Structure 1
Amino acid sequence: MSTHAQNADFEEIGKFTRLADEWWDKNGAFKSLHDINPLRLNWIEDCVKEHFGTGLGGKKVLDVGCGGGILSHSMAVRGANVLGADLGDANLQAAKIYADKTSMSDVLDFRCVPVEVLAAEQAEQYDVVTCMEMLEHVPDPSAIVQACFDLLKPNGVCILSTLNRNKKSYLFAIVGAEYILRLVDKGTHDWHKFITPAELDTMATHAGFKRADMTGLHYNPLTRHYWLSNRNVDVNYMMAFVKP
């Protein structure tokens, strides 16, 4: 088995592929991803616009760990030319079917390929690389971050999101989200694999990135309202980086 193939937890991949038929059911297993997608999308576009002066329109974008293509599809709708990469073939089939159904196949494609392999094939080919809620599911997240750096053109933008590791994130992301509110299935996350902002920043700096911005994602279970705030990154957070 290759080193690249080893940087994948196939038990983790299986958790999502078993639910592949539900990716585009906005009230199904991936409801929370559909709910937060507009916030993520707008923050990504704001970061891209801040850096380039223009938004996603016309940009060549790679979405790493794209799953069923929720974010990939929305970035294509904003005018980007998007490739989604994932190791769950059933997820990608769901993504392709939805892209065909919505007539987005001309600007939206998907590949079942390790990102490290893609980096060797397509170094410095992308204006923007996103990797959302994936790093906490792989054995070596630093290798994914390095591949994202390698795939970006010089002056490109990378957006990464993951979960912080502390007592609050255990209470909110494991106990609250999986067992009490049932926002995601039980066993979706392993708290020990969560990544602190300092750890992610170190990985990115080692890869060659410069950090540009950071924000936290928050949820009120009473009002069922999601929002972003850069004052608090205790649980879910996103970081934007630039390749010099």
Structure 2
Amino acid sequence: MDKNMNVDPAELAKFSELAHRWWDPESEFRPLHQINPLRLDWIARQAPLSGQQVLDVGCGGGILAEAMARQGAEVLGIDLASKSLKVAQLHALESGLANVAYREVAVEALAAERPASFDVVTCMEMLEHVPDPASVVKACADLVKPGGWVFFSTLNRNPKSFLFAIVGAEYVLNLLPRGTHEFAKFIKPSELASFCRQAGLDLQGTRGMEYNPLTKRYWLSGDTSVNYMIATRKPA
């Protein structure tokens, strides 16, 4: 692997070990299965997906990519975890989805190869796993067409998010494997907004995501203190 590539080998190894469990809704990826309809609906309400060219950056096993393909989009999912991509490809084949494809390529490399090629770019739960998140944001901005949408989701960095996303989710409720997240890599909304502005993206809105451990229910709200999503648009 290119030592200059914007990737943490330990993060790749972590997700590769779990790759065979991506599509098990009761596995470590259960939270992603549960929040996927919320994310999809929020994206689709702002950027209708049918007939659009869509890129999913850090697609993992393809949970969001497949969901967007089912909405009628032509989807390309990219990731650097080979095992996860193999799982994604196999699941798409089993599902009979011809309008989703996958590639093992860095987002920066794809941006150099295919600038301004996509109507919508999504990058969910990925920025907190790379050494240089600003580089990913810039590449996403380069990949989207003028007037197109770019969506990000990540974790805020504050005492509450440490308590909820690491102590609560990984150690108390066992929603995620221990070591899934590193607090120092969490990104404040103001930081992500700055990355977006520097990349030439206009902010369109944010949403927070909350979880009730008693009802085991997720919902979107205006509270961005832990999990949050941000919608941006490239000027036409």
Please give the TM-score of this superposition, normalised by the length of structure 1. Answer: 0.95
Aligned to 2:31: 32
1:237 and 2:228 correspond:
yes
- Measured in 2, the distance between the counterparts of 1:193 and 1:71 equals 23
Aligned to 2:40: 41
The one-letter amino acid paired with 2:151 is: I
SS at match of 1:188: coil
The correspondence of residues 64-213 of structure 1 with structure 2, limited to 5 A, is 64-104=57-97, 106-213=98-205
**Could you tell me whether the CA contact under 8 Å between 1:64 and 1:129 is conserved in 2?**
yes
Shift of 1:14: 1.1
Shift of 1:140: 0.3
Spell out, residue by residue over 1:5-30, the C-alpha distance to the aligned partner (whole angstroms, 9 max, x if none).
Answer: 2x100101111110111001111121
- Measured in 2, the distance between the counterparts of 1:37 and 1:142 equals 24
Shift of 1:145: 0.1
SS at match of 1:192: helix
- Measured in 2, the distance between the counterparts of 1:201 and 1:167 equals 20
- The ranges of structure 1 where at least 4 consecutive aligned residues each deviate by more than 6 angstroms after the TM superposition are none
Aligned to 2:22: 23
Judged with a 3 Å threshold, the aligned counterparts in structure 2 of structure 1 residues 154 and 4 are, in CA distance, closer, same or farther, namely farther
Aligned residues: 235
- Measured in 2, the distance between the counterparts of 1:64 and 1:243 equals 17
- Measured in 2, the distance between the counterparts of 1:163 and 1:13 equals 19
Identical counterparts, % of pairs:
53
The one-letter amino acid paired with 1:139 is: P
The one-letter amino acid paired with 1:154 is: P
- Measured in 1, the distance between the counterparts of 2:119 and 2:82 equals 25
- Measured in 1, the distance between the counterparts of 2:216 and 2:27 equals 16
Could you list the runs of 5+ residues in structure 1 that have no partner in the other structure? Answer: 49-54
The one-letter amino acid paired with 1:241 is: T
Aligned CA RMSD, in angstroms, stands at 0.9
- Measured in 2, the distance between the counterparts of 1:234 and 1:144 equals 22
Could you list the runs of 5+ residues in structure 2 that have no partner in the other structure? Answer: none
- Measured in 1, the distance between the counterparts of 2:197 and 2:170 equals 32
Shift of 1:76: 0.2
